[in-house]
Amino acid sequence: MQSSRPRIYTPFEVTPYGYIVHLLAGDFNSKKGMQMLEAAGVPAEVIESVIQSRFAGLVNTHDEDRNMYVYIAPNKIRGYRTLIETVTHEAFHLTCRITERIQMPLTGDSEEAYAYLNGWLNTKIFELLRT
């Protein structure tokens, strides 16, 4: 992922939990970028958090529904190592939000489920970013 051109990837479902993850990547700080987000049906609170973010990544779970948004800002990422750190960091936030919603606290008994879900989310996000 080298371009900071805004891109909205095809959402993917986290089965069996039924959550939909929307991956947003690029610089949306323009009129065209904001229009892309609005046209894609991204909620206003998510658009605001993306536009105002000063971080390389962000997760917004938009509590009213099953949609979860991951934003990756390549213009704030310096090199492949930082990309890996950013994606794994945001995937962990997604893992925590999903397991919170299904009321599965992190314990010794649930640790393996967390690890599998986190690994799957990382793989999915990296596969999308490679396209």
The beta-strand segments (E) located in 35-80 are: 57-60, 67-72
Provide mean pLDDT across the span 35-39: 94
Return the structure tokens found at 39.
Answer: 């046209």
User: What's the whole-model pTM score?
Assistant: 0.89
Model confidence at 14, pLDDT cuts 50, 70, 90, reads very high
Nearest to 75, CA basis, from 29, 26, 108: 26
| pLDDT for residue 2 is more than 60 | no
Residue 31: strand, helix, or coil: helix
pLDDT one-digit tens code per residue, 49-63:
999 888 899 998 876
Predicted pLDDT at 127: 95
Predicted pLDDT at 12: 95
Model confidence at 77, pLDDT cuts 50, 70, 90, reads confident
